[in-house]
């Protein structure tokens, strides 16, 4: 059997493990694509947050302006009410005072263009004095929310009620009212200032917001007073179940929040603020789609570009991976071819045994190993008896078959991995036996000889009538002064002696007292 022959290139490959190029290529391409997508995501997310932050600042500024304007508007109306209530409670509002009060009311309305009118109602809810020249006719205002509030509450503070339609001309107004008492503090009536809904509508329109944006003014209980866009059916509805009143206002009197509108369901970024002086809440909102419109366009463009780059990288990677696979297949074929060539170069094609080239390499290695370890090295040289007659009698094809059978017998007796069976040339063979003394070599030689005989290969040209072999054995412990040629020459001398002594035998050549002695082992 062949012994392992060290190969420096093979040892180098074993020491340095080969990088799995295909896996590395796939991982690299995947990492590049992942990084591109990750960078795109981070850039887009940062841009989106930046746009939302700018929108929050804009929304906060807008609600601050709305809150200031609303507070100024209601404060002016409240000051008018305060001065007039003090006068009325001091002077009364009998028939003698009516003309004077009417003129005063009219002048105040003309001074403040946000006012719809000023109205004084007696304790039964009937019109007593208004800023209009003629008193309206009708059942009065005893059913109005603001009148019932003052009738039931002794508070002298201004009360802002839900938006109503004026019974004087049908205009939408926001009522701001105060209780009027007599000298004893008893309820005498209500003084009301109506703020035009159109005033807030015009004020809201002065701000630039998107088509889906919204602005509103509401009471702290959620009652809607004014809104942009103005939808009449929504005035007076409750926003109390909305996120601003349910979640955000209880925690902070001002802030920003992305909310689904309870009115129309549109997602908007709301800025909200509760007034300090009055129970009012203002809010301004821009739709999320409008805020992120430019961002969406940028995201689409960037995504398309990155997708094309990823596609290009993917296609390049696909081609590269296929090239790597093709290279690996070629390399595998080359390795297989190299193994085949190495086998051809080091083994005999007919018998499958090692050839002389491998034998010489192995002999050098084992010679050096034996010298370092002081271990014996044995060599058996053997030859097929009368092989030329066999070829002449049966032909070369049968001769090749005979050589193959002898080779199989030879290999069957080489049990150790280090043992090397060699076709030395023609019908001559050799067996290299490391760490084996002369007795072991002779034992193996006899096993080989008997194994060939057991094959019962017919040979009419041989005296025995079947194929036999002759073997020569030599064993010694190599030293630095010996050479491989000596081992071969002496084993070959033992073989020559065996052939000259009648063939079909094993001969051992030993060195005892400087004299060569020949020992034979017949069947």
pLDDT at 219: 93
Residue 234 DSSP one-character state: G
Q: How far apart are CA 438 and CA 446, in angstroms?
A: 12
pLDDT at 510: 58
Per the structure block, which two tokens stand in for 52?
């939302």
Per the structure block, which two tokens stand in for 408?
């199989």
CB burial class (10 A; 0-12, 13-18, 19+) of residue 483?
A: exposed
pLDDT at 518: 47
Q: How far apart are CA 409 and CA 468, in angstroms?
A: 12
Alpha carbon separation from 46 to 39, 51, 169 (Å, rounded)? 10, 9, 54
Instruction: Please indicate whether residue 405 is annotated as part of the active site.
Output: no
pLDDT at 14: 43
Q: pTM for this one? A: 0.58
> Which of 123, 131, 121, 122 is CA-nearest to residue 77?
131
Please identify which of the residues 56, 168, 427, 485 carries the catalytic annotation. 427
pLDDT at 490: 92
β-partners of residue 518 are 509
User: Residue 223: CB partners within 8 Å, gap ≥ 6?
Assistant: 162, 236, 237, 238, 239
Residue 339's H or E segment, with its range, is helix 293-346
Low-confidence ranges of the chain (pLDDT < 70): 1-19, 510-523
pLDDT at 19: 55
* Edge-first strand listing for the sheet containing 224-228: 224-228, 214-219, 280-287, 267-274, 254-260
Per the structure block, which two tokens stand in for 117?
């009118």
User: Residue 412: CB partners within 8 Å, gap ≥ 6?
Assistant: 451
- What are φ and ψ of residue 170, in 5° steps? 80, 5
pLDDT at 28: 86
Locus of tokens 């080091």: 346
pLDDT at 120: 92
- Report CA 508 to chain centroid distance, whole Å: 75
């Amino acid at each position: 059997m062949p012994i392992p022959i060290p190969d420096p290139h093979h040892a180098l490959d074993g020491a340095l493990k080969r990088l799995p190029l295909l896996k590395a290529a796939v991982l690299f391409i995947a990492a590049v694509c992942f990084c591109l997508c990750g960078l795109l995501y981070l850039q887009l997310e940062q841009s989106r947050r930046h746009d939302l932050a700018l929108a929050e600042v804009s929304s906060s500024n807008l609600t601050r302006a709305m809150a200031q304007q609303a507070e100024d508007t209601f404060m002016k109306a409240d000051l008018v009410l305060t001065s007039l209530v003090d006068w009325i409670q001091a002077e009364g509002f009998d028939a003698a005072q009516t003309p004077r009060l009417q003129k005063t009311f009219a002048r105040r309305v003309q001074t403040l263009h946000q006012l719809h009118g000023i109205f004084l109602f007696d304790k039964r809810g009937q019109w007593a004095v208004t800023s209009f020249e003629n008193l309206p006719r009708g059942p009065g205002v005893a059913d109005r929310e603001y009148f019932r509030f003052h009738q039931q509450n002794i508070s002298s503070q201004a009360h802002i009620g839900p938006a109503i339609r004026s019974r004087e001309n049908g205009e939408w107004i926001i009522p701001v009212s105060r209780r009027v008492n007599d000298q004893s503090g008893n309820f005498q009536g209500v003084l009301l200032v109506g703020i035009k809904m159109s005033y807030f509508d015009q004020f809201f329109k002065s701000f630039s917001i998107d088509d889906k944006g919204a602005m509103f003014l509401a009471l702290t209980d959620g009652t809607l007073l004014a809104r942009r866009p103005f939808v009449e059916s929504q005035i007076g509805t409750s926003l109390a179940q909305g996120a601003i009143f349910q979640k955000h206002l209880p925690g902070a009197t001002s802030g920003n929040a992305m909310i689904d509108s309870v009115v129309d369901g549109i997602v908007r970024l709301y800025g909200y603020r509760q007034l300090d002086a009055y129970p009012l809440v203002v809010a301004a909102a821009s739709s999320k789609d409008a805020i992120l419109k430019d961002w969406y366009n940028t995201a689409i463009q960037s995504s398309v570009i990155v997708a094309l780059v990823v596609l290009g990288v993917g296609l390049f990677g696909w081609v590269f991976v296929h090239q790597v696979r093709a290279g690996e297949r070629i390399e595998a074929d080359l390795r297989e071819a190299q193994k085949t060539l190495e086998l051809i170069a080091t083994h005999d094609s007919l018998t499958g045994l090692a050839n002389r080239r491998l034998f010489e390499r192995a002999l050098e290695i084992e010679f050096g190993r034996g010298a370092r370890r002081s271990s014996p090295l044995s060599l058996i040289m053997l030859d097929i008896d009368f092989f030329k007659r066999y070829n002449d009698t049966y032909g070369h094809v049968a001769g090749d078959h005979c050589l193959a059978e002898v080779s199989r017998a030879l290999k069957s007796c080489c049990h150790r991995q280090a043992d090397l069976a060699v076709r030395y040339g023609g019908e001559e063979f050799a067996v290299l036996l490391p760490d084996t003394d002369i007795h072991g070599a002779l034992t193996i030689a006899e096993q080989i000889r008997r194994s060939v005989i057991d094959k019962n290969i017919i040979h009419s040209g041989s005296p025995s009538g079947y194929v036999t072999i002759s073997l020569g054995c030599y064993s010694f412990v190599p030293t630095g002064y010996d050479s491989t040629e000596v081992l071969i020459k002496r084993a070959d001398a033992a073989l020559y002696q065996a052939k000259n002594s009648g063939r079909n035998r094993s001969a051992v050549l030993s060195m005892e007292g400087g004299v060569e002695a020949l020992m034979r082992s017949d069947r």
